[in-house]
Structure 1
Amino acid sequence: MRKIVQFNEAKFENGVLHLHTEQTDLLKGLKPACQIIADSDRFAFVYLAENEEEYVYLYLEEGIWGELRKALKENASVIVESSDESLELDQFNEELNYLISNIEGNGNYGDEMVKKVESVFIDS
């Protein structure tokens, strides 16, 4: 079964974006896989992390896209954390910029996903 981590808080502190989750057990032993994919059904970006056995999907849903945009503009580090674990998302900015450029104007992601991504991330 797919393991999904969701974030309930996003804060900028000292030029770093901190994404907080209550799902402590799922962050233990994770390493960044340095890849971001899209989940068009849930209007989310998904950063892939992995442990020794499987991928864990870090869901970056629409509610925190404003903070993600700020992280991109400032080339800020992004760290996911729980009460006792943390993980820096390596190559986050490069991967998200690449995915956004692929989504822009691309109906393969679904018209609603394209519209939402463009409204937040594409300067007009």
Structure 2
Amino acid sequence: MNKRILISKANISDNKLLLQVNEPISGLIPTEQILVDSKQFSFVYLMENQEGYTYIDIPEPIWPLLKETLTRQIAVWIHFDEEELELTNFNEELVDIINNIRGNSNYGEEMVAKVEGIF
């Protein structure tokens, strides 16, 4: 069964971006893929476990911190209570998806404008 986990807040600490979630992340495995939800204006990092996929939903208010991770080349981690898990290949995938979105009306004019405005 697929599920979505929304990033509730984020901060940079100890030279890494910590994406805070409100539910357990144990057993999740990074797939090193980022999707786009152009209706919700969100980047979605794909993870999996034995039950299916989990979509880590990173909404627009978090994007300025994503830009900083690209500029500083720091790792991105998901965090719940005492659990932390690195979202491997995040920056490389984000650069690829941003480059694909720029000027590409297939994502919708508003999504393109938002991405171009921040990144």
Contact 2:44-2:56 at 8 Å conserved across structures: yes
Once the 2 structures are TM-superposed, how far is the Cα of residue 14 of structure 1 from its aligned partner?
2.0
Partner of 1:33: 31
User: Does residue 114 of structure 2 align to residue 116 of structure 1?
Assistant: yes
Residue number in structure 2 paired with 1:12: 12
Distance 2:85 2:63 in 1: 19
CA distance in structure 1 between the aligned counterparts of 2:73 and 2:48, rounded to whole angstroms: 24
**Equivalent residue, structure 1, for 2:41:** 43
| CA displacement, residues 53-88 of structure 1 (integer Å, 9 cap, x when unaligned) | 211000010010010000111111000011132210
Task: Provide the rounded CA distance (Å) in 2 between the counterparts of 1:30 and 1:2.
Answer: 12
Distance 2:22 2:50 in 1: 22
- Identity across matched positions, percent: 44
Alignment of structure 1 residues 1-124 onto 2, 5 Å: 2-24=2-24, 27-121=25-119
SS at match of 2:27: coil
Deviations 1:1-40 (A, max 9, x none): 530011111111121000111122xx12001000001000
The alignment's C-alpha RMSD in Å is 0.9
Tell me, what secondary structure is at the counterpart of 1:23? coil
Normalising by structure 1, what TM-score? 0.92
CA distance in structure 2 between the partners assigned to 1:52 and 1:65 by the alignment? 30
Q: Which 10-residue stretch deviates more, 5-14 or 56-65?
A: 5-14
Aligned residue type for 2:108: G
Following the alignment from structure 1 to structure 2, what is the Cα–Cα distance between the partners of residues 11 and 67? 8
3-state SS of paired residue (2:65): helix
Q: Could you list the runs of 5+ residues in structure 2 that have no partner in the other structure?
A: none
